[in-house]
Every structure is written in structure tokens, then in C-alpha cells.
Amino acid sequence: MGSELTFRGHESQPVSDTYTPKQPKPWFSVTQPIRYMLREQRLVFVLVGIAIATIVFTLVPSSSTSRVEYGHFTIPETTTRLSQYDQKPMYEHRSAFHMYSSGKVPLGLKRKGLRIVVTGGAGFVGSHLVDRLMERGDSVIVVDNFFTGRKENVMHHFGNPRFELIRHDVVEPLLLEVDQIYHLACPASPVHYKFNPVKTIISFFYKYYKYKTNVVGTLNMLGLAKRVGARFLLTSTSEVYGDPLQHPQVETYWGNVNPIGVRSCYDEGKRTAETLTMDYHRGAGVEVRIARIFNTYGPRMCIDDGRVVSNFVAQALRKEPMTVYGDGKQTRSFQYVSDLVEGLMRLMEGEHVGPFNLGNPGEFTMLELAGVVRETIDPDAKIEYKPNTEDDPHKRKPDITKAKELLGWQPKVELRKGLPLMVSDFRKRIFGDHKEGGATTA
């Protein structure tokens, strides 16, 4: 007999066979979002956000459709053009505002400095180039092994945050992030490149070093330019013309070089460097520039480097006879270092590959040069004649028509104005502050 307990409130209720949902409240779908927005001041934050966005888009012009114009130079800023602009090398991105024909930054725009490496930057020409680049506001990295360069040439930049000095031989690879490469590293004087000819031809092998510097060094710097998208400038030389049969020499002249002579480590090294430079330009798309430098003089030259101007000046200051090789009728053209630096910078910033002759077309025989040195230092200076050296060119004079037309460049400093500045520098370095023998330096 079973029993069943029934608790109060648990009485069984009749169950309906159909389910009837609860009737929705009217306007519930509208009032619920409103109540949500009014809780915890959410509406205030939304209104503040809308106000800030309105101010920003009102005050800042949209860059998707605008165009910036500077005279005849227009920079489109559309989003479709940006995709094309981003494909250009890093160098073009950083210099878009100053790489047009006049070479000047538009009024109101501050030029953005470039990151530039100068190989051989502690040398004669390199240190003057570094001065100009630093003055322009660029960040400069000097790479030099101090074979012919001197730390004193760049010491005045120590402490400047935009200047770096690396003791390094360019025959070994180097990894840097830069926009431009000025490749000046190579012994340029006969005394230096004949001392180690193999390294000369590799660096560009001096006779070993000079060729090594010219070839391997140039190869390493071209590889760096290719990796980082930098523009590369090779400082070649008038020696690529050898003992020329054409006078004056134009850039299209192929030269007359003795490939097995004592000067060939330098001559052929530079010719090989030019070949490598153009191969990287044509084959790998590297932006390159080639300058063929003629005889250059000025402060910071090596005193005993064997070049004719430094020889004559040092000998005259020391009261030694000036050494003239051969009959002294060989001709050379002499440009002051500031003119050369201006030409190199114009070439780098321009749109032409080259090669370009950079030199002063004023032509002097060795005896005429000795006469100018006498006028500047000591009217009583003597001349001593010695047998001529092997493969010494008889004539050397640049045709600079191409540089005038395409770079707007020509030398400004005459020999009689530039030589006293060099003499003053040599006098300080040879004698200190003491002035010898009543020599004058106009």
C-alpha cells in the first residue's frame, strides 16, 4: 500500500499543451541602447571623441589628394603615387626635396641631412670634402687606414655627434647604412703607390696595395652601395689617359697607357675601377658617378709625397734646390682643392653618371711652376735637374666642357692665389709657428 506525500504549494497543476511566450514590452529595442549609453557617462565620452576627430580632420589637410608645388617642381602626394615612390632607393626618399635642377632647398623647408661615408676621408682631398659635408649638415662616416691619411686632418670634428671615424682598410668588407658613398681611398702620389704597387691595384691590388685598393676596395664599396641602395661616386684620375696623344684630353679619349710600366699599378687600377663601376651600374642598377681628377694642390697635402707642387714648395721652404726631372717642359694643370670638392659634390648631387674631367685647364710647364713657387717663397731658390722618370706624361690638360655644360662647374682659384695658402700650411707644419728666411705668403 503506497503512500503519497503532498507538500503545501506543490500541488499538481494542470499543464497546458501549448507554449505561449511572454509578450515583449513596447519600444524595448529602442530604449535598451539608450539606457546603455546613459549609464556610466558613455555618451559623454562618445561626444568628446567625435569633437576631437572633427578638430583633427579640420586642421590637418588630407594627404591623399593634395599636391605640393615648389616653382616648377611638383610632388604628388596621392596614395597611388606613394606605392611607386616607395619602390625607389633609400637615397631618393631622403633627398627628394633637394635633387632638382637648381640644387637649392625651397624656402621654408629645412634640408634633411644625409648619411654619407667617405673612404680615404682623412687624406688630403677627403678631409676637405668632409669639411664641406659637415658644414652642409650631413652625418659623415670617415673610413681610413691612415696609410697616407692623417688623423690631424679631421680632429676638429671629434666630438661632433654627426661625425664618425673608422680605422679600416677598404680591401676588407664593411657593413654600414648610408645614402651616399664617396670612394676616395687609394694612394695617389707616385712615392706611395710605387712603394706597394700590388696593394694599390687591389685597393682600387699600392703597386700591390694600390691595385688592391683600386680593385678589391672599389668592389667592396660597390657591393655596399648595391646592398643599401646608396649612390656611389668613384674618384678616378687623369692617369687613365696615360701619356696622351690627344691634347687637351676629353672624356671620350681612351688613353695611351703602358700596362706593364712602373705607373701601371695606379693607371690600370683606376681604369679597372671605372670598369667595375660601370658594370655595377649597368648590371645591378647601382647609381654611380665617375670623376677623373687632374693635379690638385692645397693645404693638408703630404709634405714628401713626391708630387710636383708639394716637392717644389717643401724644397723651397727648406732652402733646398727644386728638383726638375727631364728638361722641365712637361706640362700639367693645377686646381685648388676647394674647386675639386665643389666639383665632386655637384657631380654626386647631379643626374649624370660621367665620367667627368675635374681639373683646371690652365697649363704650366714644370719650369713655369718653379717660377711661381720662387715668386711666392724665395726668389733665390735654385733648380736642380735630374733624369726624367719612366712613363712620365709629356702633356696633361683637361677639357672641362662637359663639366661646364652638365654640372655648371669650373675652377675659380688661380695658381697664384691658391699657392700662398698651401705655402702657409706647409710652413706651419715644417717649422711650426716660426717663419723662416723672410719668405712671403701673400
Catalytic residue ranges: 266
What is residue 181's three-state secondary structure?
strand
302 touches 124 (CB < 8 A): yes
403 to 336, 346, 361, 400: CA distances (angstroms):
16, 10, 12, 5
235 touches 384 (CB < 8 A): no
163 touches 134 (CB < 8 A): yes
DSSP string, 176-244: ---SEEEE--S--SHHHHHHSHHHHHHH---TEHHHHIIIIIHHHHHHHHHHHT-EEEEEEEGGGGBS-
Strand partners, 181: 117, 232
CA distance 158 to 176: 20
Cell output for 387? 733624369
CA distance 114 to 174: 19
Beta-strand ranges (E) seen in 169-319 are 180-183, 208, 231-237, 288-293, 296-297
Work out the number of other CB atoms within 10 angstroms of the CB of residue 210. Answer: 35
If you ran DSSP here, which 8-state letter would residue 346 be given? Answer: H
What is residue 76's three-state secondary structure?
strand
Work out the number of other CB atoms within 10 angstroms of the CB of residue 14. Answer: 4
Cell output for 273? 675601377
Longest C-alpha distance within the chain, in Å? 153
